[in-house]
Amino acid sequence: MGSLFDLLTIPSAAVGLALGIGMAMLFHWLAPAGTDVVSAGAWFVGGGWALGLLWAAVFGSRPK
């Protein structure tokens, strides 16, 4: 496996990151007052990126 930058540039991880940011923005907009939206947003963004990495690991193409 390469460097951390290589992990950040995997296309499916970038899609997961974008979806996580979108979910965090939606949660920030819809959450009731007094909710810790920063912590929840960080979990959404990190979880989206991790799911994108997992998707690439399971369904990605591997050299033979």
Structural contact between residues 9 and 48, judged by C-beta atoms closer than 8 angstroms: no
Residues 50, 56, 58, 64: is their CA dihedral positive or negative?
negative
pTM: 0.79
> In this structure, what are the phi and psi dihedrals at residue 31, rounded to the nearest 5 degrees?
-70, 145
Residue found by looking up tokens 């920063």 in the block: 38
pLDDT in tens, 9-63: 788 888 999 999 999 999 999 999 888 999 999 999 999 999 998 998 888 777 7
Q: Which residues of 38-59 are buried (b: 16+ CB within 10 A; e: fewer)?
A: eeebeebbeebbebbbebbeee
pLDDT the model gives residue 47: 94
